[in-house]
Structure 1
Amino acid sequence: MQKKTLAVVTGTRAEYGLLRPVIQKLLCSQTLRVQVLVTGAHLAPEYGSTVTEIEADGVPIAARIPILKFRGPLATADTVACAIGQFSRWFWEQRPACCLVLGDRYEIFAAAQAAAYAGVPVAHISGGDVTLGAADDWYRHCITKIAHLHFPSCAEYAARVVRMGEAPATVFNVGGLGDENIRTMKKMTRAELGESLGFELVGPFGLVTFHPETAGAAAPEAQMAELLAALDETRGLKWLVTKANADAGGAAINAMLDHWAADRPEKAAVFASLGVKRYLSAMGYAAVVAGNSSSGVVETPTFGVPAVNIGTRQAGRILCENVLCCPAEKEAIGAALRTALTPAFREKARTAVSPYNGGDTSGRIVRVLEEKLLEPGFGAPKVFYDGERG
């Protein structure tokens, strides 16, 4: 039997870290042939050229699609237009049976649109979430309406996808890939992590990631200034910081981070990317995780680590007992960090129960893809699901 071709798109370090076990299992599939398309921040030196992580995993790359070459107020729109053009040509020429995407970023939105224009069905991981503080929120819901298959990370998000008009037979509540990574990936020891980073981690430290808020009128540089001031006033911790992603405003706050860390070499270390193994290892040893990354609210519950979620970027997501929310203001951030570091809150965080545990999430995704892509008529025009009619 001839294998069906499945294209998998990845554009960022965080998203590849989640897709990694899915790709690895797909590479062993007896019925699917995988073509990995690499784009976005993976190919940009200023964001760590994280394509090297994919290469180090031995994953064959079918195409490299560079898109981050625009500046100015229309940079995101220009990038999306560029990405749609390049992905459309690739999909039209290669004609894969399906395109698998994860998440909600603009480059993934562009890839999903391009697949649709070329008549290629889309399978979408992590639909149904809500993040009111980021433009990603509407990108994600648009991808849901494009996609033929849906892999949300918990029951509440699966129900939301159905309420958006997607047939229940196409929606599979598989759990969270981040949760699976934490449970299955072999972590580094604390000593190995510190040696790998070149940053001593003998005492307590906090893990920080802060991205621009892309919905609303928040000023990323002003918010970063408030965060850095709060970190400076929090005693007894070192800070391990990963830089912002390629959203508008990310380059400016990354420059602030570089300057801040250069003045505090004994207290802070900043990295463009840690890679999934170092990042999850660091999260497990951290005294607190702070910032506004999705990992701070989605993955920390599995570790039982206190988390401080800053600002509105993640507003709307399910929050567990280990997460404290605060405005992006120095005093509020400082107060939340102090609470998170208390013995009482650390105990509360330790017993948090994650709603994202789906067991063998990556395996479940692959098994559904292997089954559905071989069904006669897969990819036929979708019908809006209005619920059961009496």
Structure 2
Amino acid sequence: MHKKKRKIAIISSTRADFGLLRPVIDELNKFDIESKLIVTGTHLSKNFGLNREEIISQGYSIDFEIPLPMDFTDNRKQLFGDAFNGFSLLFTENSFDLLVVLGDRFEILSASLAAFLSDIPIAHISGGDVTTGAKDDAFRHCITKLSYLHFSSTEEARTRIIQLGESPDRVFFVGGLGAENIEKISLVTPDELSRRFDFDFNQRFLLVTYHPETLGGNFEKDVDALLSALGSVNIPVLFTKANADEGGIFINEKIANYCNSRPSSILVDSLGTINYLSAMKCCLAVVGNSSSGIVEAPSFRVPVVNIGNRQKGRIQGENTINCKPVFEDIKKSINLAVS
């Protein structure tokens, strides 16, 4: 009598988390288990690059899709409800022995809550981190409390998970997936990037991603300060779009207007994991408030200008320059980064 294979589901909602989950998926596929990939969020949004196509092009099969109306709204209350309903139905119609999730997005929280109510054990990667400038900080801790297994990126994060009441024998310090991913991925050359996108990757340029600060920030004022500072330093900019947080659509519209008046700069929906990391390797500096500047840029020894409080609390490398979201501070920090 054949033993039934364990069925493990992995959820990805953004380009960023899929890039980090790739080595996990590859390792799981080496075992005699049945792994299922579930995608949601910006992977299925035209406005955010429709990243599902990149996933498929890299040889991965998508088993389930939970679409959300991100092309029409950035109201996270509505999107959370839609995601919860979608995952609840999926977990009612399909049984899983384990759900693997990463990070702190609201889509991941909705999936984790639906799985918890469906009695599906959850393995959470990158819990215990701190980002005090974003609601994601609370989401991350909520996911921790819903999860059974925990895989932290730092010893400090492991300690924090245990302080939240989780049993130490189920909390494992495994290190950051970003650095591991960079070691395993074959990056592309600036010439190849230039052929793929309408941009010269051999020139001096800044790689910029700016998300809304969802706790205490003023994204309308902050993005104006950023764009004014970028215009004053007069360096070509490769922008990737803000995420689907409330205010993301506004920020993307402001950046699009900036690029329309400056032919040397472009905005792309999504570069994809390989292209993004390759661009990071050859840029002058990473600017904005994306976690990629904190997690991945140190592996390339690329300077990072980290703006505002969105990533406040994360352990940072010596390559990071922190600044306030005001014109003079951002301009001064960019000039320091590229000097």
Aligned-pair distance for 1:264? 1.1
One-letter amino acid matched to 1:106? F
Matches within 5 A, 1:114-129: 114-129=114-129
Match for residue 308 of structure 2?
311
1: CA distance, partners of 2:197 / 2:31: 35
Matches within 5 A, 1:139-218: 139-216=139-216, 218=217
* Structure exhibiting the larger radius of gyration computed from Cα positions: 1
Match for residue 247 of structure 2?
249
One-letter amino acid matched to 1:47? F
Match for residue 63 of structure 2?
62
Match for residue 283 of structure 2?
286
1: CA distance, partners of 2:266 / 2:70: 28
Does residue 258 (structure 1) correspond to residue 261 (structure 2)? The answer is no
2: CA distance, partners of 1:323 / 1:26: 34
2: CA distance, partners of 1:202 / 1:23: 33
Does residue 26 (structure 1) correspond to residue 23 (structure 2)? The answer is no
Gaps of 5+ in 2: none
One-letter amino acid matched to 1:46? N
Structure 1 runs (4+) greater than 6 angstroms displaced: 70-73
* Equivalent residue in structure 2 for 1:300, among 292, 297, 300: 297
2: CA distance, partners of 1:287 / 1:71: 34
Contact 2:41 2:107 in 1 (8 A): yes
Match for residue 231 of structure 2?
232
One-letter amino acid matched to 1:45? K
Match for residue 45 of structure 1?
46
Contact 2:211 2:248 in 1 (8 A): yes
One-letter amino acid matched to 2:38? L
1:41-93 Cα offsets, whole Å, 9 max, x none, are 111101111111111122222211112259678x2112111211111121122
* Equivalent residue in structure 1 for 2:334, among 334, 337, 358: 337
1: CA distance, partners of 2:316 / 2:70: 36
Contact 2:208 2:287 in 1 (8 A): yes
Match for residue 272 of structure 2?
275
Contact 1:27 1:34 in 2 (8 A): yes
More displaced, 317-326 or 55-64? 55-64
Aligned-pair distance for 1:113? 0.2
Aligned-pair distance for 1:25? 2.4
Contact 1:300 1:306 in 2 (8 A): yes
1: CA distance, partners of 2:124 / 2:20: 13
One-letter amino acid matched to 1:95? S
For the aligned residue pairs, the C-alpha RMSD in angstroms reads 1.4
Q: Equivalent residue of 1:172, what SS?
A: strand
Match for residue 90 of structure 1?
90
Contact 2:212 2:245 in 1 (8 A): yes
1: CA distance, partners of 2:338 / 2:118: 52
1:327-382 Cα offsets, whole Å, 9 max, x none, are 1111100000111122xxxxxxxxxxxxxxxxxxxxxxxxxxxxxxxxxxxxxxxx
2: CA distance, partners of 1:33 / 1:246: 31
More displaced, 191-200 or 284-293? 191-200
Q: Residues 69 and 260 from structure 1, CA distance in 2 versus in 1: closer, same or farther, beyond 3 angstroms? A: closer
Match for residue 380 of structure 1?
none
One-letter amino acid matched to 1:220? F
Does residue 12 (structure 1) correspond to residue 10 (structure 2)? The answer is no
Aligned-pair distance for 1:212? 0.5
Q: Equivalent residue of 1:248, what SS?
A: coil
Q: TM-score, normalised by structure 1?
A: 0.84
1:309-335 Cα offsets, whole Å, 9 max, x none, are 001100111111110100111110000
Contact 2:43 2:50 in 1 (8 A): yes
Contact 2:46 2:71 in 1 (8 A): no
One-letter amino acid matched to 2:270? S
Q: Equivalent residue of 1:61, what SS?
A: coil
2: CA distance, partners of 1:119 / 1:184: 35
Contact 2:201 2:282 in 1 (8 A): no
Q: TM-score, normalised by structure 2?
A: 0.96
Contact 1:41 1:68 in 2 (8 A): no
Match for residue 323 of structure 1?
320
Could you tell me the percent identity over the aligned residues?
A: 43
1: CA distance, partners of 2:194 / 2:133: 33
